[in-house]
Structure 1
Amino acid sequence: MEKNMKFPVVDLSKLDGEERDQTMALINEACENWGFFEIMNHGIPHDLMDKIEKMTKGHYKTYQEQKFNDMLKSKGLDKLETEVEDVDWESTFYVRHLPQSNLSDLSDMSDEYRTAMKDFGERLENLAEDLLDLLCENLGLEKGYLKKAFRGTKGPTFGTKVSNYPPCPKPEMIKGLRAHTDAGGIILLFQDDKVSGLQLLKDGDWVDVPPLNHSIVINLGDQLEVITNGKYKSVMHRVVTQKEGNRMSIASFYNPASDAEISPATSLVEKDSDYPSFVFDDYMKLYAGVKFQPKEPRFEAMKNASAVTELTPTAAVETF
């Protein structure tokens, strides 16, 4: 990484002291120019993070490693000869926290792991809401504006994608996770502090997100780009595979409710906005099929869908 490309790392404990203004400015600069930043002293106990990491890696060994190897064989990926562009080299499972938890339905989790994950999820949910209020402060929006925008009638959706990226014999042939922007709101990532792999696209170059012990990596999703009228942007990122080490990634997504109506904040729009207004669930339906493509056509499609809706509501619902 070039010297002028220092990845933004924010010490949240400085918000309570004389360096608050400086720290808020660093968060704002990171949101405007990176779409990513890494936070330290975020209030989540280190022993809880250590426990989650140990249990997640143990869970993979016990319940997922063989399934992953079977998947590789079934898709012919155990003998990579040519570059593969439509599959990811990852093993995942999903935990839903809000609006209703599915932790009790995940039968291969131990009670201890389930309890720890519930605690971790609740702490991350609170942290996500605190961060959204910091963004509001930087944007000149009233406190709670972003939380309210996400609420809909059912409250926000919040879930965790637990991933492992096992060693890959030919990293140049396949990505751990292909390049994409995240569709939702704000993402909080607890990543492996020893095995790297996460990269973001910055000024045309792929930049490593440094693995720091007990940090949480924050990145912004498409919905925050729309609500901030492009002042803050979601950024393309990917996971590259490594020859050595199994990389753990626990990404928690604090997203709008399915029926939340998303639109640029009026106070951030001077004349007309280039960004669309839409219902979050409609955006997700579109995103599902084009996740690994650029976001701009998605925004354009939603804008056109909105324009059609204003003209012919019934036909628009049937054709979209």
Structure 2
Amino acid sequence: MENFPVVDMGKLNTEERKATMEMIKDACENWGFFECVNHGISIELMDKVEKLTKEHYKKCMEQRFKEMVASKGLECVQSEINDLDWESTFFLRHLPSSNISEIPDLDEDYRKTMKEFAEKLEKLAEELLDLLCENLGLEKGYLKKVFYGSKGPNFGTKVSNYPPCPKPDLIKGLRAHTDAGGIILLFQDDKVSGLQLLKDDQWIDVPPMPHSIVINLGDQLEVITNGKYKSVMHRVIAQTDGARMSIASFYNPGNDAVISPASTLLKEDETSEIYPKFIFDDYMKLYMGLKFQAKEPRFEAMMKAMSSVEVGPVVTI
């Protein structure tokens, strides 16, 4: 298996820009994932996020997780569990409005640090979307404009911890799925592995690297690119040793954003439109019940649902 793609974003401002853009293009077309280094987010900030996240889990969430495991008898299971994940999580919403001040148990330093981290990730997400536009031959800002809707994009963070699991062969850390949204930016533990993606019918480890941000593409980018880029099935394998931290931030379309294949790409490829046109919130309602199933039936269902419905134009920002 060829090496997992690692993109040094510092090279985008050097004579190696062309080769770096080609690496991003290949990763989007053939992997659906790549790992960013020299992405502009300081090591000091990332170290602080990791320290405070692990402290918060120990202080506020570990005991709750142990009680949940005990109540469900998960340490003694004898057959595969297919209806839950071995993870402890909470969610932060950043855009269109923040809920960080409303999350219980977060101390003030952690709130401030996660707010600063989210601002840096939002900027990185938009920079990456423009790099994708450049590779696709779309005008700069096209993807951000499509995602905007009437109130701006949805942007939020899922903070997860995956404690040691006594039966990793029977319980997944997180079951296999594709992500519903746009572009996902993951700050993962650099010591405890577990994230895998499906490539050429094989599960491939996404390597833990210090201070990297793992990027993966969601279903919406597959639709907008008319299948040129693909969202990819991925999962988290629970480990018997070590607790794994995962901070995944999702830069998604606004609820009322209209998603459809980019007309420019249809003309260039001289191909028919093989993906549906829909409102993002309608897709999310469908996705919530079918997250751990194949994405293709979701696209087909949206194609049927929207065939008789007119949706409005993309909002210009």
- State TM-score, norm by structure 2: 0.96
Percent identical = 70
Partner residue in 1 for 2:274: 274
Partner residue in 1 for 2:315: none
Residue 107 (structure 1) shift: 2.3
Cα distance in 1 for partners of 2:93, 2:83 equals 26
Runs of 4+ in 1 over 4 A off after TM superposition: none
Residue 83 (structure 1) shift: 1.2
Partner residue in 1 for 2:71: 74
Code of the aligned partner of 1:286: L
Residue 74 (structure 1) shift: 1.6
Code of the aligned partner of 1:205: Q
Partner residue in 2 for 1:202: 199
Partner residue in 2 for 1:290: 290
Partner residue in 2 for 1:26: 23
The answer (yes or no) to whether the contact 2:6–2:36 under 8 Å persists in 1 is yes
Code of the aligned partner of 1:230: G
Partner residue in 1 for 2:40: 43
Cα distance in 1 for partners of 2:93, 2:144 equals 19
Residue 271 (structure 1) shift: 3.8
Residue 308 (structure 1) shift: 3.5
Q: Deviations over 1:112-135 (max 9, x none)?
A: 000000000000000000000000
Cα distance in 2 for partners of 1:271, 1:88 equals 40
Cα distance in 2 for partners of 1:64, 1:236 equals 28
Aligned length: 308
Residue 30 (structure 1) shift: 0.1
Partner residue in 2 for 1:190: 187
Code of the aligned partner of 2:296: E
Structure 1 gaps of 5+ residues are 314-320
Alignment of 1:159-174 (within 5 A): 159-174=156-171
Partner residue in 1 for 2:236: 239
Partner residue in 1 for 2:53: 56
Code of the aligned partner of 1:281: D
Residue 80 (structure 1) shift: 2.2
Q: Deviations over 1:267-306 (max 9, x none)?
A: 1112421100000000000000000000000000000111
CA RMSD of aligned residues (A): 0.9
Alignment of 1:9-24 (within 5 A): 9-24=6-21
Partner residue in 2 for 1:105: 102
Residue 92 of structure 2 is aligned to residue 95 of structure 1: yes
Partner residue in 2 for 1:318: none
Q: Deviations over 1:165-220 (max 9, x none)?
A: 00001110110000000000000000000000000000000000000000000000
Cα distance in 2 for partners of 1:219, 1:307 equals 29
The answer (yes or no) to whether the contact 2:75–2:167 under 8 Å persists in 1 is no
Residue 73 (structure 1) shift: 1.5
Residue 261 (structure 1) shift: 0.3
Aligned with 1:220 (options 212, 217, 221)? 217
Cα distance in 2 for partners of 1:287, 1:107 equals 28
Structure 2 gaps of 5+ residues are 312-317
- State TM-score, norm by structure 1: 0.95
Residue 85 (structure 1) shift: 1.1
Cα distance in 1 for partners of 2:225, 2:286 equals 21
Cα distance in 2 for partners of 1:139, 1:271 equals 15
Partner residue in 2 for 1:158: 155
